Amino acid sequence: MGLTKKQKQFIEVFLLVLIILASIFLWDTFVIYPIKLMVVLLHEISHGFAAIITGGKVIDLDIALDLSGFSKIENGNSFIIASSGYLGSLIFGMILFYASYQKRFRNIVLPITAGIIIIFLINSSKNEYLIFITIGIIILLFTINYFFPSFFANIILKSLGLVSCIYVLIDIKQDVLESTTSYSDASVIAEITGVKQTIWGIFWLLISVIGIILLIKSAYKKNSRT
């Protein structure tokens, strides 16, 4: 006997909440490290995209082993570039999450995302170690997507998408709400606008919470149509 619509909805929401809680509690462990590396890369690449779109140039893009990332950029719109880190993490996360429900969309999104990451790294990063690790993770994702059962592939994509959104929450909590003197995207925006970085931190915090809620709501509705 198959599961009822309500049971599928409950299992889906329970699974998503479990992924969120596990990500938060295991945030500083090796279990989450590969996902965090991809998320931080997407965060920094979002700065690079914003720079190019607004007439700027990416000079260097790098991430240390402790996952502290930076983008050296010339020209471009400073406000858009600084804001794009939080927004980019959120958008990439939502796209990857949605891709777990659409195989055709997933098979388009994964190659494009992988291509973007590799192009940015090869052209902007001087850290060969980072490039090799990232390519390894991308190969692993493709292997999981094309050779593993759909259930497991979907879980990986959902986890990657949710962690990307959660990254905004934890990044703001660590860099803004816990230490208002640290250098962060919010502090750059504060310098540009004259509005306190704590205000900007709370603003992006609310945006990311809303994004996560919308993802869970969307997942619940998709299972109601199954």
What is the DSSP annotation of 18-34?
HHHHHHHHTTTSTTTHH
Q: In the chain, how many domains are there?
A: 1
Helices marked H in 56-126:
78-99, 103-124
Residue-range definition of the domain harbouring residue 63:
5-23+31-224
Token pair recorded at residue 69 = 């990332």
pTM here is 0.78
Judged by phi (left if over 0) then psi (alpha if -120 to 50, else beta), residue 221 lies in alpha
pLDDT of residue 48: 83
Tell me what the mean pLDDT of segment 62-72 comes to. 72
Better-scored residue on pLDDT, 225 or 80: 80
Chain mean pLDDT for the chain: 78
Identify the band that residue 3 occupies on the pLDDT scale cut at 50, 70 and 90. Answer: low
Q: What is the mean pLDDT of residues 123-133?
A: 74
Share of the chain above pLDDT 70, in %: 86
Summarize pLDDT for 106-127 with one digit per residue, the tens: 888 888 888 888 877 777 777 7
Range in 78-82, 89-93, 178-182 the model is least confident about:
178-182
CA dist 82 and 192 (Å) reads 10
Q: Tell me the per-residue pLDDT of 161-191, one tens digit each, with 9 for 90 and over.
A: 888 888 877 777 776 666 655 667 777 888 8
